[in-house]
Amino acid sequence: MYYVVMPSRDIRRNLATEQYILNHKQFDEPVVLFYIQNPCVIVGRNQNVRAEVDLNYAKEKNITITRRLSGGGAVYDDLGNLSFSFVVNADHEAFGDFKRFTQPILDALHELGAVDAEISGRNDLLIDGKKFSGNAMYTKNKKMYSHGTLMLDVNLDEVSRVLTVSEKKLASKGTKSVRSRVTNLKPYLSERYQAITTEAFRDHLLLHLFNANTLAEIKEYEYLLTKEDELAIDQLVTDIYGNDEWIFGEEPKFTIQREEKFQGGLIEANISVEKGRISAIAIYGDYFSQKETKEIEQLLIGCEYQREAINHRLKDIPINEYFNNVTKDEFLQLMVD
């Protein structure tokens, strides 16, 4: 395994670099990336930004907003957070198997004193019943990355102020607010690590992951971005991660709004019906997917708005590939019942 420490503190450039390495660089072993960024909110691929983020507050506090390629829920990062990403060959990994990547991180945290840190649910890491890490996956061209956050010493007041999470999602976690269900790791570390910086925390994790005593002993991935690579990454920031059209998307008015929480995550369907047929549809949520949700939206345009017709339209569609851990019956329940 190799490692890469991102020099940028801009989440948009870090995500663009991650994507570029995934799509354009070849490596003979898995790569783990670590990055730290200035205050930002990263929403999941399928989420409605305006429903997840207090946009006025984000603008007032100069909090960057972007959207990632992977699914899952919105997260707030600042310089007290460490993000990590494992880039691997998708042929050898099961999509949605977060434990495969988070267990080595947990083992390192146990070594640092956070002995009660554990995996919970589909993609969260918890300690004392509170979340300190969310994880997501993305796959393309036979490669995959699994990335996540580690809240070491994040400003928790900002988390609850800028994120506006669905009441159904909070209810499913048995809590009443964003602030009450998240925590930082630092208070749970051993006394010797109470003054640790995010950068030193990153280096301790690296040494554990590689079973090394010094960073000089392990292999930093010599991806050495050329000038052409850098320009290509700049273009990804312009076209995707810094592009309002990608971040916010088009939001037509809808006549029917339905929302359900399933094992695979929260799904919200916004539907317009004219003369008994679906004329517009937008699907949001914190679910994970291997295929583009827009394919389902386009397929349902013009379909009669009734369960049997929708079921027939989707008869050859593997719903689980669009909404991980969601059955076709559950999707139909969301749409019509």
Per-position DSSP letters for 168-204, written without gaps between them: HHHHHTT-S-TGGGB--SGGGS-GGGTT--HHHHHHH
Note the pLDDT tens digit of each residue in 41-99: 999 998 888 888 999 999 999 999 999 999 888 999 999 999 999 888 877 666 667 88
Q: Could you tell me which CATH class the domain 2-248 is placed in?
A: alpha beta
| 91 or 292, greater pLDDT | 292
Taking residues 30-43, report their average pLDDT.
Answer: 94
Fold of 256-335: Enolase-like; domain 1 (3.30.390)
Q: What is the reported pLDDT for 143? A: 83
| 27 or 290, greater pLDDT | 290
Q: What is the reported pTM?
A: 0.78
- Out of 184-188, 221-225, 240-244, pick the least confident: 221-225
Would you list the domain boundaries of the chain?
2-248, 256-335
| pLDDT higher than 80, residue 106 | yes
Residues in the chain: 337
* Alpha carbons 34 and 206: distance in angstroms, whole number: 9
